[in-house]
Chains A and B, each alone.
Chain A
Amino acid sequence: MTVQLTPVDDAGTAAPPPPDGGPARRPATVWSVFLHKPTVWIFGGILIVMVLASVVGPLLAASPVSTNNPTFQPPGGAYPFGTDNLGRDYLARVLGGGRISLLVGFSVAALCLTLALVVGGLAGYHGGTLDLVLVKVSEFFQVIPGLVLALVAAALLGTNVTLIVVILAVTMWPGVARIVRAEAMRISQLGYVESQRAAGFRALRILWSDVLPNAMPPVLVATTMTVARAILAESGLSFLGIGDANAPSWGALLNQAQPYIGTAPWLPLFPGLCIFIVVLAINLLGDALNDALNPSIGKVK
C-alpha cells in the first residue's frame, strides 16, 4: 500500500530534484532570481567580507589587548582604525568585536529557527492546546518589549555570551514561530498532506517530509531578519554595559567609546558603522529573498 502511494509523497516534497525537473523547478527559479539580483551580489559580498574579516581577521591583526601603542592615535598609518584610550589597536578590537556580534546574531537566529520549527510546526499541524499556548506566548512577547525582559534577565542571570544568546533567543523565537505555525496550518489543509494522512503516514513524518520543507520560504525570510534584529539587540544590551566583559562586541566598544566622543570620534564611529553595514546587508538580503519568493508583492501595478 505504501509502495503504491510513494509517487504522491515524492511530488509533495520539493527537496530532491527529480529527473524530470517537475516539482523542483519552483525553488530553482527562486534561487536563480535571488542570485541574479544586483543587491544580492553587492550586499551578499559585503556580508561575506565582514564575516570573513571577523572570523579570520583576529588571527592576523595585532593583539586586541596589548597596550604597547600610543594612546588616541587617529586612524591612518600603522593604525588603520587608530588606537583607543589605553593604546590598544582599534582595528584588532573592532575585528574581535565583530566576531562576538556576528556569533551572537547567527546563533540566536539558528536557535530561534530550531525552536520555531519544532513548536510552530507541531502547533500549526496539530492545533489544540499546544497551539493555544503558542498563540498566547507569542502574543505575550509581541506586547511586552523584549528588550526590557532581556535587560533584566541578562543583568540578573549573568552576562556570558552563551546566556545572552539564550536570553535573546527566548525573547525572539515566537516571532518566527508565528510564521511557521501559520504556514503549517495552511499546508496541513492541502491535498498532498491529506492524501498522506489517508495513506496512514504518521504525523511526525508528514510534518518532517512535507509540511516543514514547504513552509520554509517565508520562515527563511523571517530568520534572516532575526539575525539582524539579534545583532541590534545584543549591541543595545552591551551598549548599556550588559554584555560579556571578556568578549567585547561592537556594542561594548560603543559603550567604552562614549566618554571620548569629542576627543576621539573614530572610537564610536567604526563599531557603529560595522553594525550598520552588517544589519543593512542582512535586511537587504532578506528583502531580496522575499521579493524572489513573492514576485508579485511590492510592485505597483
Chain B
Amino acid sequence: MTSVLSHYGRLLLSSVILLLVVISILFLLLELAPGDPIQTLVGDVPVTQALRDQLTASFGLDRPVWERYAIYLANVARGDLGVSFGTNTPVAELIGERIGATLALTVPAFVISTTGGIVIGSIAARTRRRWLDSLLSGGSVGLFSLPNFWLGLMLILLFSVTLGWFPAQGKAPYGQDGISLPYLVLPVITMATMELAYKARVMRSSMIESLGQDFVDTAASKGLSSRRVLWRHALPNALLPMVTVSGYSLGHMLAGSALVETVFGWPGIGQLFVGAIERQDTFLVLGVVIVITVMVLIVNVLTDIVYGIVDPRLRARVSRSAAPRSLRGPRTPAVSEQQRSRA
C-alpha cells in the first residue's frame, strides 16, 4: 500500500515539475521574443518616453527577469493567471468562459474515437475475410493521413455549402447562447476522425498480438465460442496499449482544437489561443498553455490509475515508466514503443 502511495506521490511531483518546466520554457520564449510589449499594449500610436516609463513601472517590467518569473509563478500557484493585455479582463475569466465549448467538442470526439477505434480495430484483427481487413486497415491509414482541418473544410464544402444539412460556423444560431446540436456534428466528426483511425490501427496490432497468446488458445480449446474468446479473453488484454494511447489522445485533441475551432469558428480555447498568439497577448497565451497542460497532466495521472486497475501485473508495481524494463511485464506489446512515439 505504501508503495502505491509513494508511486502516486512521485507521479504528482513529476507532474508539478513538468508544469514548471512548461511555464519556464514559455517564459523564456516570451523573454527572447523580439517586439516591444509597451508598443503592443498601446497599439499603433507613438509612445512618449513619459508614458513608456509609467507603463514599464506599472507592469513591473523594470524588474529583473527572475523576479518577474518568481512573481508570476507565485501568482499561478494562487490561481491568478494575470490580466489579458488586449481585453483587460482576467485571463482565468476568459478561459473559463470558453473551456466549456472546447470540452463540448473534445469529450464526444474522445468517446466516439475510442469506442469506434476499439470496435473497428478488433474486427479488422479478427476477421478472416481479407477484403474486410484490407478495407478497414486501408481506410484507417487513409483517415489517419488526412489533415484534420482540411477534412473540416471539405465537410463544410459538402454538407454546408452544397447540401446545406449542417451549419458551418459557430456553436449556435446568431444571438443564441449555449450549444445547438446541429452545429456540433461537423466539428466533432472532424476532431474524432484522425484519432479514431489512429486508435483503430493501434487496436488492430495489439489485438493481433493478444490473439496470438497461449491463453486465447486455452480459452478456445475449453470450447468457448470464438465471439466469447474475442470479447472476454483477448479484448481486455489488448486494451492495455489503448489506455496509454487514449490518454495521449486527449492532449492531441485539446491541441488540435486550435485548428478545428479555427475552421468552424467555434468559440473555444483553441480559437482564444490562436487569437492571443496573433495579438501577442502574453498572459493569455501563457494562461491557455497552462490550462491545457494541467488538463493533460490530470488525464495522464488518470491514465496511470486506469492502467493500474486494468493490468493486474502492474497492480503491485512501482512505476509504469520509471521502472526497470523487467518490471514492465514481458508482454508490453512491442509495437507500442513506436506507436507511442507519435508526439
Contacts and interface: CB of A to CB of B under 8 A. Distances in A.
Interface stretch (A2-10, A72-80, A293-301): A293-301
Q: How extensive is the interface on chain A, given as a class?
A: 35 or more
B335 A152 contact: no
Given A152-B285, A280-B142, A242 B277 contact: yes
Contacts of B256: 145, 147
B149 A254 contact: yes
A299 B161 contact: no
B205 to A, nearest CB: 6
Q: How extensive is the interface on chain B, given as a class?
A: 35 or more
A147 B259 CA distance: 10
B156 to A, nearest CB: 6
Tell me the dominant secondary structure on chain A's binding face: helix
B191 to A, nearest CB: 13
Contacts of B278: 155, 241
Interface in B284-311: 285, 289, 292-293, 296-297, 300
Interface in B254-289: 254-256, 258-259, 262-263, 273-274, 277-278, 280, 285, 289
Interface stretch (A49-57, A172-180, A191-199): A172-180
A218 interface: yes
B293 A144 contact: yes
A145 B208 contact: no
Contacts of A155: 277-278, 280
Given A140-B18, A152-B285, A254 B150 contact: yes
Contact of B255 (A139, A145, A182): A145
Interface in A128-166: 135, 139-149, 151-153, 155-158
Tell me the dominant secondary structure on chain B's binding face: helix
B22 interface: yes
B330 to A, nearest CB: 14
Interface of B: 18, 21-22, 25-26, 29-30, 32-34, 125-126, 128, 133, 141-142, 144-147, 149-150, 153-154, 156-157, 161, 205, 208-209, 211-212, 248, 251-252, 254-256, 258-259, 262-263, 273-274, 277-278, 280, 285, 289, 292-293, 296-297, 300, 321-322, 334-335, 337-338, 340-343
Interface of A: 135, 139-149, 151-153, 155-158, 171-172, 174-176, 178-179, 182, 218, 221-222, 225, 228-229, 232, 235-236, 239-242, 251, 254, 257-258, 261-262, 265, 268-269, 271-272, 275-276, 279-280, 283-284, 287, 297-301
